[in-house]
């Protein structure tokens, strides 16, 4: 196999220029990238919101349509993974590292600073309900629907229409095979840029969480040094796992992640203040369902708040989506479309909802009971400090904190190695068969680029840099997702599959 020079070269040049600029002229670079982010959200925020909600609605229609009965790969196709492994990989290769970082910190922002236009008073019971329902909005059905719809369209193109392992194949249902193949190199190139930016943002969040854990265990350590060493360790680990391949590296890590999630949940359920938290579940769920549509579209609230939170998240999920779709779509062989939707959308979203309720609820209850102490810590030391502060109030804080540290590490590694495998295969010139893996040196090169980008963004601009990288990465992916929606609608109503 030989390298696709245009596909690999364009994102490499763009990312190299970005990193060099951030070092040479940091202030000018941050001002420029901030202006670019503002322009994107002001002019295209409505499209992010509309596309995100449309994807969820469309999957509901597909599930109950004749397309739902299609067996991916044909009647004789056999699955690559069993259902337990499939669920583990689908959950852990998408937003798992995000829930570890934001579950305890994000609701505090919404609780203490609800958006204008809602009539909600900060710190009130209504603010608590709003914070939890917003957490559900940002981390459950809509983000997983973005991944699932794109992965499903790729799976139908790859397995049923016999299209190549290329992101451009996502557009075959809309524009036809010939035109899709013509524009495929540029679509693949922009998607690689989107994913590296999105993965760098996710890795940045992971680095901040890991740095917070090290600071808790070793208060005298250097934060800057911590992020550097952690970036190196993460990069080497996820590249090594990617080189091992799906059945050895990624599958094993996914199972370890699920076991880690279960242990952490059990510890907080047994020793956390769950008595008061359970009482809020019904109200939070009802508020989530009632306001799903208007809040997903940023209706009735302060625009700048929506740009900082809801639209930021839609952009972040979109940045990961094109490459993740190739990986997740490939795993669907041997299962019908309805099963595909359940295992990529419904079950992971329900898991994420339960996780967010548990940890977000404990965070809000603790902050209220302790007169805003967690929010004060949030403002003083950043979002990465909150989960470790909560762990510090439970039995065996050093042991549990260390276990959580390992879980964050493994969660990012699991997400990164699967996408590194997909983007490495995409970089090669030959069509990729179902079991084919890219050369190890290609995986190593992409992995190092992701790690370096994440470290630079965190080092130069902290959490703001992480958020801006997400927005920039999601912008080109937005238009591809719109094409995916249009293609799925065409298949749905014209019965083409």
DSSP 318-342: HHHHHHHHHHHHHHTTTSBHHHHHI
- CA separation for the pair 480, 446 (Å, rounded): 22
Is the pLDDT assigned to residue 497 strictly greater than 50?
Answer: no
- Band (pLDDT 50/70/90 cuts) for residue 130 is very high
Q: How far is CA 193 from CA 16, 18, 78, 166, 476, in A?
A: 11, 11, 33, 15, 9
Cα distances from 262 to residues 99, 149, 269, 323, 433, in angstroms, run 14, 28, 10, 28, 35
**Regarding predicted confidence, which is higher, 241 or 175?**
175
* DSSP letters for 197-259: HHHHHHHHHHHHHHHHHHHHH-TTS-HHHHHHHHHHHHHHHHHHHHHH-IIIIIHHHHHHHHH
- Which is more confidently placed, 142 or 496? 142
Per mean pLDDT, which range of 207-211, 254-258, 448-452 is the poorest?
A: 207-211
For 74, the 3-state DSSP assignment is coil
Provide mean pLDDT across the span 306-316: 87
pLDDT tens profile 41-57: 889 999 999 999 999 99
Which of the four pLDDT bands, split at 50, 70 and 90, describes residue 247?
low
162 Cβ neighbours under 8 A, 6+ residues apart = none
The pLDDT confidence band at residue 468, using thresholds 50, 70 and 90, is: low
Print burial letters for 210-245: b (CB count within 10 Å at least 16), e (below 16). bbbbbbbeeeeeebeebbbebbeebbebbbbbbbbe
Of 69-83, 221-235, 262-276, 312-326, least confident by mean pLDDT is 221-235
pLDDT at 13 over 90: no
Instruction: Evaluate if pTM is beyond 0.75.
Output: yes
Q: In the chain, what are the domain boundaries? A: 5-494
pLDDT per residue as tens digits for the range 289-309: 999 999 999 998 888 899 889
Q: Identify which of 423, 339, 412, 416 has the alpha carbon closest to the alpha carbon of residue 86.
A: 339
Task: Identify the three-state secondary structure at position 164.
Answer: coil
Q: Is 391 exposed, middle or buried (0-12, 13-18, 19+ CB in 10 A)?
A: buried
What's the mean pLDDT in 362-372?
95
DSSP, residue by residue, 402-452: HHHHHHHHHHHHHHHHHHHHHHHHHTBSSPP-TT----HHHHHHHHHHHHH
Question: Of 167-181, 185-199, 432-446, which gets the smallest average pLDDT?
Answer: 432-446
Q: Does domain 5-494 have CATH number 1.10.890?
A: no
pLDDT exceeds cutoff 90 at 320: no
More confidently predicted of 494 and 305 = 305
The whole-number average pLDDT for the span 440-467 is 72
Residue 31 has pLDDT above 50, yes or no: yes
At 489, is the pLDDT very low, low, confident or very high (cuts 50, 70, 90)?
very high
């Amino acid at each position: 196999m030989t390298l696709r020079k245009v596909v690999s070269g364009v994102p490499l040049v763009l990312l190299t220029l970005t990193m060099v600029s951030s070092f040479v002229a940091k202030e000018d670079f941050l001002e420029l990238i901030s202006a670019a982010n503002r322009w994107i959200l002001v002019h295209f925020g409505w499209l992010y919101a509309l596309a995100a909600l449309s994807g969820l609605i469309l999957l509901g229609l597909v599930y109950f349509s004749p397309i739902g009965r299609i067996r991916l790969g044909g009647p004789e196709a056999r699955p690559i993974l069993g259902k337990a492994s499939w669920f583990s990989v689908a959950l852990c290769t998408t937003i798992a590292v995000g829930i570890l970082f934001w579950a305890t910190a994000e609701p505090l922002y919404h609780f203490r600073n609800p958006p204008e236009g809602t009539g909600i008073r900060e710190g009130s019971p209504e603010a608590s309900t709003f914070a939890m329902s917003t957490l559900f909005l940002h981390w459950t059905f809509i983000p997983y629907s973005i991944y699932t719809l794109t992965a499903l369209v790729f799976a139908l193109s790859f397995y049923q229409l016999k299209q190549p392992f290329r992101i451009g194949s996502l557009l075959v249902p809309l524009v036809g095979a010939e035109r899709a193949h013509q524009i495929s190199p540029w679509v693949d190139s922009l998607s690689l840029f989107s994913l590296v930016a999105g993965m760098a943002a996710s890795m940045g969040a992971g680095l901040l969480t890991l740095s917070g854990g090290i600071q808790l265990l070793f208060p005298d350590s250097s934060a800057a040094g911590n992020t550097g060493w952690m970036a190196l360790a993460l990069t080497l680990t996820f590249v090594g796992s990617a080189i091992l391949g799906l059945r050895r590296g990624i599958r094993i890590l996914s199972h370890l992640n699920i076991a880690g999630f279960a242990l952490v949940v059990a510890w907080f359920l047994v020793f956390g203040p769950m008595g008061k938290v359970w009482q809020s579940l019904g109200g939070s769920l009802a508020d989530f369902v009632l306001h799903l549509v208007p809040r997903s579209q940023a209706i009735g609230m302060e625009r700048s708040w929506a740009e900082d939170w809801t639209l930021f998240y839609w952009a972040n999920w979109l940045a990961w989506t094109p490459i993740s779709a190739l990986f997740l779509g490939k795993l669907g062989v041997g299962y019908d479309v309805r099963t595909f939707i359940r295992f990529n959308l419904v079950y992971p979203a329900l898991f994420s909802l339960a996780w967010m309720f548990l940890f977000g609820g404990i965070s809000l209850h603790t902050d209220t009971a302790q007169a805003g102490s967690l929010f004060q810590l949030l403002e003083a030391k950043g979002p990465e400090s909150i989960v470790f502060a909560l762990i510090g109030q439970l039995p065996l804080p050093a042991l549990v904190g260390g276990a959580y540290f390992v879980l964050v590490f493994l969660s990012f590694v699991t997400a990164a190695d699967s996408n590194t495998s997909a983007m490495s295969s995409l970089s090669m010139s030959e069509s990729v068969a179902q079991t084919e893996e890219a050369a190890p040196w290609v995986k190593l090169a992409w992995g190092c680029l992701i790690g370096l980008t994440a470290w630079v963004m965190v080092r130069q601009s902290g959490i703001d840099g992480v958020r801006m990288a997400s927005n920039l990465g999601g912008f080109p992916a937005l238009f591809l997702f719109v094409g995916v929606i249009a293609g799925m609608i065409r298949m749905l109503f014209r019965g083409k599959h």
